[in-house]
Amino acid sequence: MNYDIIVIGAGHAGIEACLAAARLGCRVAVFTMNLDYIGNCPCNPSIGGTAKGHLVRELDALGGEMGKTADECFLQSRMLNLGKGPAVHSLRVQIDRNKYKEIMKHKLELQENLEIKQAEIIDLKSDGNLWRVKTLTNMEYTSKCVIIATGTYLGGTIYIGETSFKSGPDYGLPALRLGEALKRLGLSMRKFKTGTPARALKSSINFSALEVQNGDKNIVPFSYRTKDKGENKICCHIGWTNEKTKEIILKNINKSPIYSGKIEGIGPRYCPSIEDKIVRFSDKERHQLFIEPCGLNTEEMYLQGLSSSLPEDVQLEFYRTIKGFENVVIMRPAYAIEYDCADPTQMNSTLEFKEYSGLYGAGQFNGSSGYEEAAVQGFIAGVNAALKTKNKKPLVLDRASSYIGTLIDDLITKGVSDPYRMMTSRSEYRLILRQDNADQRLMPIGRKLGLIPGSIWEEFNLKEKQKQEEIKRVKKVNIYPTSAVNELIKSKESFPIVQSVKLFDLLKRPNISYKDLKIFDSESPNLSDEILKQIEIEIKYEGYINRQLRQVEEMRRLEKKQIPENFNYGEIKGLRLEAVEKLKKIKPESLGQASRISGVSPSDVSVLMVWLSRK
């Protein structure tokens, strides 16, 4: 019963952790409370979204599995924020949630070096060399590393009005004893909460009263390995709450466990319940909701935007005030779930606990929210646990390399006061961290790890070669001021040209695209839309991109200034008391990380820099 790595939990974080570690040649066991819940999507039946789509693309470029599986079972695909700049374009797909589970479970079953076990882990100990886990049925297993990816199962309690009961998501069995074991171990724990809306019977909804939301005609896959783009199979709908909805919720607000004080855990700031929205945004007359199918072979509809912990009868009353929902039948009521999670500032950039060698955390256990945030953390934890067992250098992604690096740095450096959600605004380098160039940034790392197959690597290198050759070519091509050229330019609300200009310079103009000028460029090669899009972005935003790259150089200069482990900040004269306390708690690995700690000022960083330089 000895393994290299044990993963506790088989949700989105646990899946990526065990697959990555097994594919790197480690003998891995993944434990789950119920085999049928592997890859479960207990909340929204979708993958991606603003910034989350970036994470999925980055994960795929490194060799992860979420994007490929989402492509294999998507129902509708939409690229969000196309009316804004390319930095915030994000892919989101509706998935068949049961098919997603089925595919993911099968992938784990087929994976070499990986064993799946249905069992509840109730204890966890270390003798300094090996970790020992114990199950409810008194089985014991040992491993060099353990990854905790318990999601919202750890100490889970479901709340519906005044009713509460111990449960994991979707009424699954909760992990109650493991939380106590982690506290005995000495981990700093806290309670968070999240929620999910009701599921409604499709035939009870009047869709003619709702707005239709169709998918994109041009399907863009998540995965670089996906060759068959597929097609949209369903449409979604949009509805709105009203003053009557608001009235019912406010009249019953004292019945919500959030407002009665029954729930102690802190909820997600950027995904509030409907009662939170009504109270916090009292000036708004209505709130939007999205009606999304849960799959092709089910009549359940997911009511995104209407999560709640109000009593079931109140839920039915306020749902039926919404236009199109007058006769709605609720199949599963909305609920809030409170769970235990760890303070992520206890971990370093590999997601290993600083004080517990070989112990890693990933996903909602680390204080984050969302499938995508969980998956990328699971991958990083799985890779680093595998590298540790092989005595190899760990994988650390910085803020300038990826949204994954930004997410982990935020968690371990700043900590979390509520469930962390990834947003494009969290990155200071988002113009160079676009989803369209995730392969350019991260696929070389995935290939070096051994997680990117040769065929995909060859395609990537060919694409990069074609792109660079084309950028070099358009810098030499002249466009002459013919009447046809100037008519086109004026139709794009730009100034006509009076002498020949380089194609490169014309492409810098905001409204002029590569395809617009193709008819005036006889030597234009036949390139994919993906390559053309990247070329345009790199040309149009060249100045801004170069400025961000200079900022990255400065950031990485500070990151290279390593701070010794167990450094005594108390002996440094000039550091403020608050800075000393925060630095002692977080134990930053570098000067760059120290500069991002809340409570550490630029003057503190300067004092620390001088001290380190002298030493």
Q: 164-182, pLDDT tens digit by residue?
A: 999 999 999 999 999 999 9
Which token pair is 290?
């999205």
**Pairing state between β 131-135 and 114-118:** unpaired
Q: Residues 126, 358: contact at Cβ < 8 Å?
A: yes
145 forms bridges with which residues in the sheet?
A: 5
The ranges of the chain annotated as CATH 1.10.150.570 are 560-614
> Taking Cα atoms as reference points, which of 89, 62, 65, 63 lies closest to residue 218?
89
Provide the 8-state DSSP code for 5. Answer: E
Alpha carbon 271 to its chain's center: 14
Which residue intervals of the chain bear CATH 2.40.30.260?
Answer: 199-336
Tokens of 108: 């784990």
- Residue span(s) of the chain under CATH 1.10.10.1800 come to 464-546
- As a whole number of angstroms, the distance between CA 498 and CA 516 comes to 19
Integer CA distances (angstroms), 241 to 290, 293, 317, 323, 483, in order: 11, 19, 12, 8, 54
In this prediction, residue 590 carries a pLDDT of 92
pLDDT at 181: 95
State the Cα–Cα distance between residues 518 and 498, nearest whole angstrom. Answer: 20
pLDDT at position 614: 81
Amino acid at 379: F
199-336, CATH topology level = Elongation Factor Tu (Ef-tu); domain 3 (2.40.30)
- Interatomic CA distance for residues 419 and 344, integer angstroms: 11
Distance, in Å, from the CA atom of 530 to the CA atom of 467, rounded to the nearest integer, reads 10
At residue 252, the 3 state secondary structure works out as coil
- Split the chain (615 residues) into runs of 10 and give each run's mean pLDDT: 96 98 98 97 96 98 98 97 94 98 98 98 94 97 98 96 96 94 95 95 98 96 94 97 96 90 82 91 93 97 96 97 98 96 96 97 97 98 98 96 96 94 94 96 98 97 96 94 93 92 93 90 90 94 94 89 88 90 91 90 90 82
Question: Do the beta carbons of residue 368 and residue 374 sit within 8 Å?
Answer: yes
Q: Architecture of 560-614 per CATH? A: Orthogonal Bundle (1.10)
Q: Does domain 464-546 have CATH number 1.10.10.1800?
A: yes
The H-or-E segment that residue 216 falls in is: none
Q: Of 381, 349, 373, 354, which is closest to residue 187 (Cα–Cα)?
A: 354
Q: What are the start-end ranges of the H helices in 186-237? A: none
pLDDT at 272: 87
